Structure formats: C-alpha cells, structure tokens
C-alpha cells in the first residue's frame, strides 16, 4: 500500500479538455507571441502539451488557465513558460551534414579572404546541437588557418531549451551523429562513469553566447552584423507573411554577401528578398552593387 505523507499533494488524474473556442483563443495568443501557426488538427497536441502547465499550476480546466494567463501579473511570465511547452525542439548534431561540408569547403575560405574575424548566429538553436556543430566546423577550419577567429551567438525563444544548451550535456545516443574523430577533441565524458553522459569541452562552450531572442521581436540583435546566419527548421512553423518578416529582419543582420542557411523543407524562392539562392536551402545576401541580378555573388 502507498501511504501519502501530510506534505505530499496528490495531483488529480488529468483529463481537462480544451474546447474549440479555447483552442482558438490559445492558438491566437501563441501566433501573436511567437509566430507559430497551429492549425485546427493540432488541438489535441496543444491540449496535451498544456496539461503540463495546468498540472504545475494546480489548475483544473482550460478556463482557469486562460484566466491565469490573462491576469496582469502573470501574463508576461506565463507566455514564457507556455512557449517552453509549446515549441518543438527537435534537433541533432550535424543535422543536414551537407551544410557543414559546404560551410567548411566553400564559404569559410571565401569569407576569410575578406575578414579573419567571423561572427555567426544560430537563430533558433534549440538545445545547442546546432551551434556546437557550427563551432566544431569553425574550430577545425581555424586550426588550419591560424589567423582566423570566430564567435557565435546562439538564440532561441525557449528558456528550457536554452538552459539545456548552456549546460551542454548530452547522452551517448545524442552524440552518436558527431564524427568519431571529433568526439575525443570536443567532448568530455562524465566523471561519473555510470552516467554515460558527455559535455562539450570548455574551449568550445566559451565561444558561444546564448541569448533568449524571439524572432517576432521588432529589433533583432541591435547593431550586430553576422557573416553567417543559421535559421533552420523554424520557418516551417510560421505562415508565409511571418516567414517573410523574419527573413527580412535576418537579412538586415547579414554583412554584405553574408550567408543564410534554412532547413531542408523550407524555401524562400517565392519571396521577394535581397538574397539569392546559391544551393538549395543556402542563400547569400545580394551585394547591393550587383543588385542581385547576376546571381554571381559566391
């Protein structure tokens, strides 16, 4: 028999249901706040993800949750918490490997002819696998080209994902996509050998600044410019207008001739933007002098 002490609370079995009206209100809030467009068939998914918040807050219904979310003193903090459970943070080390091959073989040699100081932004970095992969590629390049230096900004809207990214601790399964010759260089095995977890080495961690940035915000890293921006597998959650606004802001943050990487199922071809496609999912800011017409930036 399980006995419950006076200090333990029993959480009710969770079956709060979300009505169509509640879904409409919540999906509008999410869209306005972080641009994520949830179609009607995502209702069950949203309901189950928000159950975590209701349970944590000891609320029994979505009406209670909406009142909580609407109350002046809670709105700002709850939007942050809600985003943590609503966002999909799926990622991997060396995801879309061809991006990193192209980066090392083609882009870095071009860029370092112009400047030896590289500034790169991973604009929806999730739990860190993407920026650490970029850092490994840059580190390898800089080892062979001693005058080149780099630094990275990695940002996401999810504070929970950013926390894990900054911790930089990954399971054996997660690190399996890192090339085997990179693992001894860039990973430290946990001192507790029963754990089988690995941490990114301090030298690489020191190259990355993690920041919470909502891509919906009007001003993205103010006055900062980047030669390379990765914004992969996040535009798919946005509608066409939001995609256009976000990518326009990102291209404003690129140095002339800078590069933008997007995800494998995303395309910017139908958008009128100051960039040209140099490979599927890889774009280059058009040199204003060439007006982007000759398509020869690279």
Cβ-based burial of 17 (10 A; exposed 0-12, middle 13-18, buried ≥19): exposed
Q: Hey, which residues are catalytic here? A: 49, 156
Residue whose structure tokens are 């802001």 = 249
One residue of 79, 120, 208, 215 binding ligand SAM per CB under 6 A:
215
Residue whose structure tokens are 């966002």 = 87
Binding mask 81-120 for ligand SAM (x = CB under 6 A): ------xxxxx---x-------------------------
One residue of 27, 250, 263, 285 binding ligand SAM per CB under 6 A:
263
The answer to whether residue 178 forms part of the interface with ligand SAM (CB under 6 A) is: no
The answer to whether residue 227 forms part of the interface with ligand SAM (CB under 6 A) is: no
The answer to whether residue 208 forms part of the interface with ligand SAM (CB under 6 A) is: no
Residue 89 or 267: the one with the smaller Cβ distance to ligand SAM is 89
Q: What are phi and psi of 152, to 5 degrees?
A: -125, 140
Q: Which long-range contacts (CB under 8 A, 24 or more apart) does 196-202 make?
A: 196/171, 196/172, 197/169, 197/170, 197/171, 197/172, 198/169, 198/170, 198/171, 198/172, 199/167, 199/168, 199/169, 199/170, 200/128, 200/132, 200/168, 200/170
Least separation in angstroms between CB 88 and ligand SAM: 5
Q: What are phi and psi of 195, to 5 degrees?
A: -85, -30
Q: Quick one: which of 86, 102, 97 has its CA closest to 38?
A: 86
The answer to whether residue 53 forms part of the interface with ligand SAM (CB under 6 A) is: no
Q: Report the alpha-carbon distance of residue 74 to residue 184 in Å, rounded.
A: 46
Residue range at the interface with ligand SAM (CB under 6 A); choices 23-31, 74-82, 226-234, 266-274: 226-234
The answer to whether residue 156 forms part of the interface with ligand SAM (CB under 6 A) is: yes
Residue 18 or 216: the one with the smaller Cβ distance to ligand SAM is 216
Binding mask 268-297 for ligand SAM (x = CB under 6 A): ------------------------------
Q: What are phi and psi of 121, to 5 degrees?
A: -125, 125
Least separation in angstroms between CB 94 and ligand SAM: 10
The CA-CA-CA angle for residues 86, 93, 183, to 5°, reads 140
The answer to whether residue 158 forms part of the interface with ligand SAM (CB under 6 A) is: yes
Residues 179 and 147: beta-carbon distance below 8 Å? no
The answer to whether residue 214 forms part of the interface with ligand SAM (CB under 6 A) is: yes
The answer to whether residue 143 forms part of the interface with ligand SAM (CB under 6 A) is: no
Residue 59 or 80: the one with the smaller Cβ distance to ligand SAM is 80
Residue whose structure tokens are 């909406």 = 66
Least separation in angstroms between CB 175 and ligand SAM: 15
Q: Coil, strand or helix: which one is 86? A: helix
Residues 191 and 218: beta-carbon distance below 8 Å? no
Q: Report the alpha-carbon distance of residue 65 to residue 81 in Å, rounded.
A: 12
One residue of 108, 137, 216, 228 binding ligand SAM per CB under 6 A:
216
The answer to whether residue 152 forms part of the interface with ligand SAM (CB under 6 A) is: no
The answer to whether residue 34 forms part of the interface with ligand SAM (CB under 6 A) is: yes
Site of interaction with ligand SAM (CB under 6 A): 34-36, 87-91, 95, 124, 126, 130, 156-158, 161, 214-216, 232-234, 237, 263
């Amino acid at each position: 028999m399980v006995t419950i002490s006076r200090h333990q609370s029993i959480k009710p079995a969770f079956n709060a249901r979300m009505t169509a009206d509640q879904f409409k209100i919540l999906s509008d809030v999410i869209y306005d706040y972080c641009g994520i467009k949830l179609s009607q068939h995502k209702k069950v998914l949203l309901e189950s993800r928000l159950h975590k918040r209701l349970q944590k807050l000891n609320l029994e219904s979505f009406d209670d949750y909406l009142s909580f979310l609407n109350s002046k003193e809670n709105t700002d903090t709850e939007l942050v918490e809600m985003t943590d459970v609503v966002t999909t943070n799926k990622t991997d080390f060396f995801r879309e490997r061809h991006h990193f091959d192209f980066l090392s073989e083609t882009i870095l040699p071009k860029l370092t002819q112009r400047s030896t100081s590289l500034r790169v932004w991973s604009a929806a970095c999730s739990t860190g696998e993407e920026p650490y992969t970029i850092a490994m590629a840059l580190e390898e390049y800089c080892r062979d080209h001693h005058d080149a230096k780099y630094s990275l900004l990695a940002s996401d809207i999810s504070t929970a994902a950013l926390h894990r990214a900054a911790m930089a601790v990954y399971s054996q399964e997660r690190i399996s996509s890192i090339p085997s010759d990179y693992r001894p260089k860039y990973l430290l095995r946990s001192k507790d050998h029963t754990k089988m977890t690995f941490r990114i080495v301090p030298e690489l961690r020191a190259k990355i600044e993690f920041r919470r940035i909502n891509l919906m915000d009007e001003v993205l890293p103010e006055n900062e410019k980047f030669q390379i921006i990765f914004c992969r597998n996040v535009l798919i959650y946005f509608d066409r207008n939001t995609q256009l606004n976000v990518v326009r802001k990102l291209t404003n943050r690129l140095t002339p001739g800078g590069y933008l990487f997007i995800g494998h199922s995303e395309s910017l071809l139908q958008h009128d933007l100051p960039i040209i496609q140099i490979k599927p999912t890889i774009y280059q800011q058009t040199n204003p002098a060439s007006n982007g017409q000759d398509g020869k930036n690279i």
